[in-house]
Structure 1
Amino acid sequence: MQRFDLNQIPHSPWKNGGGSTREIVCFPTGAGMDSFAWRISVATIAQAGPFSAFAGIDRQIMLLDGDGVELVAQQAGIHHALQPRWQPFAFAGDVVLDCTLLGGTSTDFNVMTRRGQWTATVQVISAEQLSPDGPAGLCMVLDGSWKITDDAQLAPGQGLWWSPSQPLAETPTLAAQDKNAHLVWVRLTPTL
């Protein structure tokens, strides 16, 4: 189990200058964009432009902050406003999407899985208590505070991830410390 804090992950600017990405985790570790099995990141979208296409990849995206974006792919019949926040939207990464800002800069949460190898379930949870499960996954606090079994606290932007190469040595419990605490929960399941 690995802890992370978005505030400590550097921004990698996009080649087109339209935004930046903070990669939380990529599996297997060190895999490139053509060889990852799954990848989870947070992107900042600062200007309109096309989304990069990723052949053989399934994607899920969710607005974290900002006014949102409109995603359009006429040939695939996609016309989706990414708002309100915390509502996951799934689409095939092979599709070339045009992105238009619906106001100012937006920040989104991204999950990419290689089709035929892994699938992802992305949901926002507000619960009193839960425990990570499965061979791989990630949780990140969206709002409020969450306590881990060892009495450590997770604040917004902080979270945990685990993978087959970093399995759970023990299963921790996460407990909401606030009435309106929320986190995004990603369950990753191998399909092979």
Structure 2
Amino acid sequence: MSGERIDWRQLAPQRWKNGAGLTRELAVEPAGASMDDFDWRISVAEVEQDAPFSAFAGVDRCIALLDGAGMTLRSADGAAVRRLDRVGEPFRFAGEMPLVAELVDGPCEDFNVMVRRAAHEAHVTPLRQPGTLEAAPAGMLVCLSGRWKCDGSTLERGQALLWRRGMPRVSVQPQASPALALAVHLYRSPGATRDAAIPGCTRATNT
């Protein structure tokens, strides 16, 4: 199955759940789901000022810097949890964790994957070299820099391929340097049902 081509620069921005920033929704499952009842959601966020992250109980999150100097994530007591200043480096955390984004030097943009912990797992992997993406129930390839060829398509920065119903095993090839992409593999959690009780926080494998 061929992937659906997405250019997130053409998507209309929406306010964050808490109103403190902007987000562009690349994909959500089920289609048309709200912030309160999605199974998984992939988006790009614009952070223009220091702001708290929206809280998502029962959700695992993974973010990666796309553009700008980045931000420092701080806990409720002000302690630094993680500094995100390297483009394409994934960071995973529980969605209910109270975090505040403190900008390093001006606005930045980040990539965001959220999955309902009781039902799904997300693996987010940076790519810089030619390779093969393994099959998955759903997935996405996102071009962060350079150009990438995949599944008969050439992706420029700001473009992505989405496989909503079955991601095939596909080869990826950088076409221009420097090249950086993110591969997202989405899996059902073993024995999961959409209405399953939410267990303790588990994190996707850091690949």
Equivalents in 2 of 1:16, 1:175: separation in Å?
39
Query: 1:68 maps to what in 2?
Result: 70
Mapping of residues 87-98 of structure 1, within 5 Å? 87-98=89-100
Q: For residue 82 of structure 1, report the CA deviation from its aligned partner.
A: 1.2
CA distance in 2, matches of 1:16, 1:188: 26
Matches within 5 A, 1:123-142: 123-131=125-133, 133-142=135-144
Secondary structure at the counterpart of residue 123 of structure 2: strand
Bigger Cα displacement from structure 2, 7-16 vs 45-54: 7-16
Q: After superposition, what is the alpha-carbon deviation per residue over 1:132-184, rounded to whole angstroms, capped at 9, x for unaligned? A: 5111111111111112343x321111111112xx335x655432212432210
Superposition map of 1:85-124 within 5 A: 85-124=87-126
Within 2, Cα distance between the matches of 1:90 and 1:31? 23
Contact 2:88 2:181 in 1 (8 A): no
Q: What are the superposed Cα offsets for residues 92-116 of structure 1, whole Å, 9 maximum, x if unpaired?
A: 0011111211110010000101012
Change (3 A) 1:10 1:19: same
Is 1:25 the counterpart of 2:27 in the alignment? yes
Q: Is the 8 A contact 2:74 2:101 kept in 1?
A: yes
Q: Contact between 1:68 and 1:83, CA under 8 Å: does it hold in 2?
A: yes
TM-score, normalised relative to structure 1: 0.88
Structure 2 stretches of 5 or more lacking a match? Answer: 193-207
Moved more, 139-148 or 101-110: 139-148
Q: 2:17 touches 2:54 (CA, 8 Å); kept in 1? A: no
Are 2:88 and 2:180, in contact at CA under 8 Å, matched by a contact in 1?
A: no
Residue 195 of structure 2: aligned partner: none
Q: Counterpart of 1:112 in 2: which secondary structure?
A: strand
User: Does 2:55 align with 1:56?
Assistant: no
State the partner residue of 2:166.
167
Aligned residues: 188
Q: Is the 8 A contact 2:48 2:107 kept in 1?
A: yes
**Structure 1 residue ranges without an equivalent (≥5):** none
Match of 1:7 in 2: 9
Task: For 2:17 and 2:151, locate their aligned partners in 1 and report how far apart those are by CA, in whole Å.
Answer: 41
Is the 2:16–2:54 Cα contact (8 Å) retained in structure 1? Answer: no
Rounded to whole Å, the distance in 2 between the matches of 1:38 and 1:86 is 20
User: Any idea what the Cα deviations from partners look like across 1:11-47, whole Å, max 9, x if unmatched?
Assistant: 1134765321000000111111111111010000001
| Conservation of the 8 A alpha-carbon contact between 2:76 and 2:98 | no
Say whether the 8 Å CA contact 2:17–2:35 is kept in structure 1: no
How has the CA–CA distance of structure 1 residues 90 and 149 changed in structure 2, closer, same or farther, with 3 Å as cutoff? closer
The 1:16/1:135 distance shift into structure 2, 3 A limit, reads: closer
